[in-house]
Chain A
């Protein structure tokens, strides 16, 4: 790159002026030599595999399972790096977790980058390193991809879209419609950490300790559940809208009521503290490595035992039960034992005034 830099300092040449040793310029998205250079030097060096190396228009995949799971998600988080994670880790685990909660073993990923002109190469490299690390953990191979560079201001630094294909481990969880009264609701770990971490990073809140995102792969604990014959009736990773949104969706789909016990819900002290200060509820905060599952009462103990063997889910806990439809879709038992309606989140949580 130093050669190019030296040439770039010289006057006149319109193509070379689009090359910058420090930052990505529009020229890298134009499909010519510089695009190939970006892919060759930064993508293939990290993600090389037989499929990707072909640089074909599509990856050709062979699967031994009858059913495949297919999911896609776009990642636009600000800031790109935050305690506990970054946009790259999020883009891998977000999609592989969606596959895993659907009953599939994540196998293949696509990776699409929309880069804002001017993004430092060092930032892109850090994100790509993180994607490489995360995809190894999730055991998913990046088999196809795309890069675009858009003019300054047309995107916020870096947007990533990943799509994923997974092989379904039969039987897959049948889903929320299959919930039955007296099913037990389990959460896989402390809730609200990702939402709190992003809020603090975005607003530069100086809490001590700062909350760290729970961003993690959930494939291993879930695959071990499915493999042990402990397939739950339903599993969802509690991303935007948090645990409250999942429970509302399940109550709607099943026509039943979810009742949870506030004192049983694991929440990190620093997350609770932030919620108390800002008048927010951790049940409404996003998670990126925490799921809710509903299972039959007789499977609860084995399910908890197995989840607690995995790092990402070692604080799994029973938080409530599915009940016949009551006066509200989701109820939370607080303090003196009263059941109080739990609101469905709407829009971003906005902090209270005082």
Chain B
């Protein structure tokens, strides 16, 4: 387990943590954009070890969490059709739409299956030639190449029974939307390392110039997270809003050109609804018109749905960094991982779930 243990060595972590604390002269507000980073910070106790000196805010980088309830309703509705096998990643099955979750739909008899790769859904379509296999695709630019590849494979195989219910989103427009909120407090950002592996990070120069905040490309292991935070604090302390790559073992400036081409071949950029933001300009990817035969919305004639309110759930405020999960009145009361109200409580990457698991204040039983 070399590539895990090297980045979790307690001695090195403690030294790095002490160095970081020495640098800090102000309580900076730093957003970790990606849900994987939120989990890393909380699971390994880093956030708890820094909470007295830094204000760490968790961003909208959990693809399951930002998928609107309406998209889940579409998936549940499609899955009711007797000819449809709905497939998706495990996490997605628990997220409640307005008609319940896909797991609940499965209990009512819909054929819904977990796959570990979109390519598995294509194989299923080959095997189940009498059925219509739909892959419910969510995720940022890190996941989109694999779903794009699945569509291209299906086309190459001449499949007429495979389609994608695509809800891919883009991370940089969401970071822009956060910075443009009237009550924005964010002073520095940790950019999502995995997404940058695909997209590269050169495009963040314009972001840094426009908003004058440091952006540090950061990984997910404890040492990576501390390195990202340390660099971000250094840049804040020296008043240098710069772009820096602290995840160079995975991320190159230009990214993965092959993966980018796959995305461009299958998707085009569009303004789409996001949980918590209503919609984000250029915040999503929709399937290219020439691939409409593989677009489940086209194949099954789904109408575009309008966003509804999230009720008392404040997941939107959580995902935009306006409040911490524990400040939501539903947190831990009516909203728990067993009975989630908002998506961030459902997904194991969601920040409400991370707080519930790792940082929940619990009544002391006497």
Report whether B358 and A341 are in contact in the complex, using a CB–CB cutoff of 8 Å: yes
Q: Interface centre among B13, B63, B365, by most A CB within 10 Å?
A: B365
Report whether B8 and A335 are in contact in the complex, using a CB–CB cutoff of 8 Å: yes
* Complex: A341 Cα to B140 Cα, angstroms: 29
Interface 1/0 per residue, B1-25 and A, CB below 8 Å: 1001000101001100100000000
Question: Which of B4, B8, B114 is close to A350, meaning CB atoms less than 8 Å apart?
Answer: B114
* Complex: A329 Cα to B362 Cα, angstroms: 9
Report whether A279 and B357 are in contact in the complex, using a CB–CB cutoff of 8 Å: no
What's the nearest-Cβ distance from chain A to residue B148, in Å?
A: 15
* Complex: A326 Cα to B142 Cα, angstroms: 40
Known: A336-B46, A346-B338, A353-B64. Is A326-B364 also a contact (CB below 8 A)? yes
Report whether A325 and B364 are in contact in the complex, using a CB–CB cutoff of 8 Å: yes
B110 at interface by CB-CB < 8 Å: no
Known: A325-B365, A351-B90, A352-B91. Is A343-B357 also a contact (CB below 8 A)? yes
Task: Please provide the chain B residues from 44 to 73 with a CB less than 8 Å away from any CB of chain A in the complex.
Answer: 44-46, 48-49, 63-64
Report whether B116 and A351 are in contact in the complex, using a CB–CB cutoff of 8 Å: yes
Interface size on B, residues (CB 8 A): 47
Interface 1/0 per residue, A317-354 and B, CB below 8 Å: 00000000111110000111111110100110011111
* Complex: A329 Cα to B140 Cα, angstroms: 36
Interface 1/0 per residue, A212-245 and B, CB below 8 Å: 0000000000000000000000000000000000
B347 at interface by CB-CB < 8 Å: yes
Residues of A contacting B358 in the complex (Cβ-Cβ under 8 angstroms): 340-341, 343
Per DSSP, chain A at the interface is loop
Interface size on A, residues (CB 8 A): 31
What's the nearest-Cβ distance from chain A to residue B116, in Å?
A: 6
Chain A residue nearest in CB terms to B2: A269
B214 at interface by CB-CB < 8 Å: no
B360 at interface by CB-CB < 8 Å: yes
B43 at interface by CB-CB < 8 Å: yes
Chain A residue nearest in CB terms to B195: A354
Question: Which of A205, A276, A327, A354 is close to B4, meaning CB atoms less than 8 Å apart?
Answer: A276
**Taking beta carbons and an 8 Å cutoff, which residues of A are in contact with B?**
203, 205, 255, 263, 269, 272-273, 276, 278-279, 325-329, 334-341, 343, 346-347, 350-354
Would you list 14 pairs from A and B whose C-beta atoms are within 8 A, ordered by A residue? A269-B1, A326-B364, A334-B43, A334-B44, A336-B44, A336-B49, A341-B358, A343-B356, A343-B358, A350-B90, A352-B91, A352-B348, A353-B92, A354-B139
